[in-house]
Amino acid sequence: MKKTQPKTEKAFLENYDASLYEKPSAAVDIVILTIKSNKLQALIIKRDDYPFKHKWSLIGGFIDINKDQTLEQTAKRKLREKTGVKAPYLEQVITVGNKKRDPRGWSISTVYFALLPYEKVSLQLGTGAADIKWGPCEGDSIKEKLAFDHADLLAVCLDRLRSKVVYTSLPVYLHSENFTLSELQATYEIIMGKPIEKKSFYRRMLASGILEETNEMRKSGRRPAKLYRLVNNKEAHYFTRIIG
Amino acid sequence: MKKTQPKTEKAFLENYDASLYEKPSAAVDIVILTIKSNKLQALIIKRDDYPFKHKWSLIGGFIDINKDQTLEQTAKRKLREKTGVKAPYLEQVITVGNKKRDPRGWSISTVYFALLPYEKVSLQLGTGAADIKWGPCEGDSIKEKLAFDHADLLAVCLDRLRSKVVYTSLPVYLHSENFTLSELQATYEIIMGKPIEKKSFYRRMLASGILEETNEMRKSGRRPAKLYRLVNNKEAHYFTRIIG
DNA sequence: ACAATAGTGTCTCTCAGACAGTATTAT
DNA sequence: ATAATACTGTCTGAGAGACACTATTGT
């Protein structure tokens, strides 16, 4: 028995039943990165529900089509629920989708990475988590074995960050309001995993126009250092050459 | 009446019913680009079904969880169905997802862009299309008004291509096997929308190590030009400085 | 005074930009 | 010979790399 073809867009939409087609599940996962104890660290939670109950995983969850207006909003909501803050930098990295990554069946996940200053974060357990913590990144991974394909997703994000560090100003988002150039350089070096020439770094950063001096000094070490801040509302800066 | 909690992963999975949760629709769209008549052109089809019946749109379609193993496979399948070829370059660009982009409801789409040489393509209508053609890109858009948010998706891809052209070798994928450096330069210039210094371009390309001479010459113009080809299985090359 | 950290001076090197000059073909 | 297109020579300039040097603090 053939259904009659609707004659207008309106008629088509009135008769459309989305539930007739089998769909993959759709989720968002976020790799939240910070610098803590001179290490790049990723935020992970211990799952309190099946599947992978009691295993560590990235922060994430299904899109709730009744609550979320957009994909990015889903990411921002999750991020806020776990860290209590709005990330100064959030980038969509990749979407993976296949039949095997989730034992419950065909699923896709859009992966974001967020950078934020450690001092600003106050971790919150939220629902579905038995524990939450920062795990130091070593190379492309983390000591804890992660659920699903989350180890892969983390690796992709770390890769993306490392490839961008050499021509962008992304590491400033790992610092709070004021920071010294030495501190910023240290952050670059931690991510790159190797030292940078101080002079090249100073030249580059000061010429970029994204930083401005404050009147304050950091008095921790020996000679006090000038504190800088990101110029009001500056986007990430893209340099025309690579450093390091 | 509270359902009892399953006691093991196995029990949980056996009882799991994916259809209980409302999911967004999940699709893939592909911006297929080529150079034709000295212009960057995008492949579009005229839709033969609702919604947006008889409107132009990008190539795409829902993920078929019974046929497709992975998201990328969905993209490759669509691409092959419409062009008859395997694209030498395919890159995932963005995933958009919200409640309004499709009148049928919450939907997400993962967008890829593909580069391929015009000569290799033989357009195929396939199912669901009333027409298929190349449309010249002007700036960030195309003359034809596109269905859904496809104009935005196209713009994001053109943006991505333009931003990458200045530091990568992507344009080689718009040429077939053999090409001259002048032809390749012309392709760069079409994408960038402005001329490049010939000497800088030659130096850069020859130093990159991604090209090798063939024994043949192109005899079209006055002085014949050396034909080059991509060295066996070379990936896209990333330069350390920007051109143009 | 000295150690430690912050910051500068300055030379070299690589590669893009500019542009003039040479090479090889068809007519 | 001339026009057209393919290439090369070579100078300049911007910015990275190297590294020695000066500056400012606490002890």
Any idea of the CA torsion for A185, A189, A192, A198, to the nearest 10 degrees? 60
Q: Is the pLDDT of residue B1 over 50?
A: no
What is the rounded CA–CA span in Å between residue A55 and residue A71?
25
Closest CA to A146 of A86, A57, A225: A57
Residues 6+ away with beta carbon under 8 Å from B76:
B86, B87, B90
Residue B239, nucleotide of least CA–C1' distance: C15
Q: Which residue has the higher pLDDT, B69 or A127?
A: B69
Give the model's pLDDT for residue B128: 87
Residue B167, nucleotide of least CA–C1' distance: C16
Q: Which residue has the higher pLDDT, B6 or B106?
A: B106
Alpha-carbon distances of B103 from A10, A94, B25, B52, B144, rounded to whole Å: 10, 25, 11, 9, 20
Hits for CB < 7 Å against strand C across B residues 183-242: 196-200, 203-204, 207, 217, 219, 222-224, 239-242
CB contact under 8 A, A99 and B21: no
Distance of CA A1 to the CA centre of its chain: 51
Alpha-carbon distances of B116 from A188, B41, B208, rounded to whole Å: 37, 11, 21
CA-nearest residue of chain B to A105? B18
Distance A202 CA to C8 C1' (A): 10
Phi, psi of A154 (to 5 degrees): -60, -45
Closest chain B C-alpha to A99 CA, distance in angstroms: 6
Decide if B37 contacts A61 (C-beta within 8 A).
no
Query: Which pTM value belongs to this model?
Result: 0.94
Q: Where are the alpha helices (DSSP H) in B47-149?
A: 71-83
Query: Which strand D nucleotides have any atom less than 7 A from protein CB atoms?
Result: 3-10, 15-20, 23-26
Question: Is the CB of A214 inside 8 Å of chain B's CB atoms?
Answer: no
pLDDT digits (tens, 9 = 90+) for B127-163: 889 999 999 999 999 999 999 999 999 999 999 999 9
Residue B184: band (very low, low, confident or very high) from pLDDT cuts 50, 70, 90: very high
Give the model's pLDDT for residue B111: 98
Footprint of strand D on the protein (CB under 7 A): A 196-200, 203-204, 207, 219, 222-224, 239-244; B 180-182, 198-199, 202, 218, 221-226
Give the model's pLDDT for residue B221: 72
Q: Is A178 exposed, middle or buried (0-12, 13-18, 19+ CB in 10 A)?
A: middle
Give the model's pLDDT for residue A3: 57
Residues 6+ away with beta carbon under 8 Å from A206:
none
Give the model's pLDDT for residue A1: 46
Closest CA to B44 of B147, B119, B138: B147
* Amino acid sitting at position A68: D
Give the model's pLDDT for residue B3: 57
Residues 6+ away with beta carbon under 8 Å from B39:
B136, B137, B190
What is the rounded CA–CA span in Å between residue A43 and residue A32?
5
Q: Is A24 exposed, middle or buried (0-12, 13-18, 19+ CB in 10 A)?
A: buried
CB contact under 8 A, A23 and B25: yes
Q: Where are the beta strands (DSSP E) in B99-140?
A: 107-115, 129-138
Question: Is the CB of A244 inside 8 Å of chain B's CB atoms?
Answer: no
Mean pLDDT of the residues in chain B: 95
Structure tokens at B26: 């999940």
B123-138 burial, b if ≥16 CB within 10 A, otherwise e? eeeeeebeebebbebe
pLDDT tens sequence for chain A (244 residues): 445 677 888 888 888 887 778 999 999 999 999 999 999 999 999 999 999 999 999 999 999 999 999 999 999 999 999 999 999 999 999 999 999 999 999 999 999 999 999 999 999 998 889 999 999 999 999 999 999 999 999 999 999 999 999 999 999 999 999 999 999 999 999 999 999 999 999 999 999 999 999 999 999 879 999 999 999 989 999 999 999 9
B188-203 burial, b if ≥16 CB within 10 A, otherwise e? bbbbeeeebeeeebee
What is the rounded CA–CA span in Å between residue A126 and residue B131?
51
CA-nearest residue of chain B to A104? B13
Decide if B50 contacts A13 (C-beta within 8 A).
yes
Give the model's pLDDT for residue A10: 87
Closest CA to A230 of A158, A177, A152: A177
pLDDT digits (tens, 9 = 90+) for B83-129: 999 999 999 999 999 999 999 999 999 999 999 999 999 999 988 89
Q: Where are the beta strands (DSSP E) in chain B?
A: 25-36, 39-47, 56-57, 59-62, 89-98, 107-115, 129-138, 141-142, 178-179, 211-218, 225-230
3-class state of residue B202 by DSSP: helix
B108, B160, B164, B238, best to mutate vs chain A, most A CBs in 10 Å? B108
CB contact under 8 A, B65 and A99: yes
Residue B104 has what DSSP assignment?
T
What is the rounded CA–CA span in Å between residue A179 and residue A228?
5
Q: Is B178 exposed, middle or buried (0-12, 13-18, 19+ CB in 10 A)?
A: middle
**Which residues on B lie below 8 Å from A94 (Cβ)?**
92
Phi, psi of B157 (to 5 degrees): -70, -40
Decide if A124 contacts A77 (C-beta within 8 A).
no
Q: Is A136 exposed, middle or buried (0-12, 13-18, 19+ CB in 10 A)?
A: middle
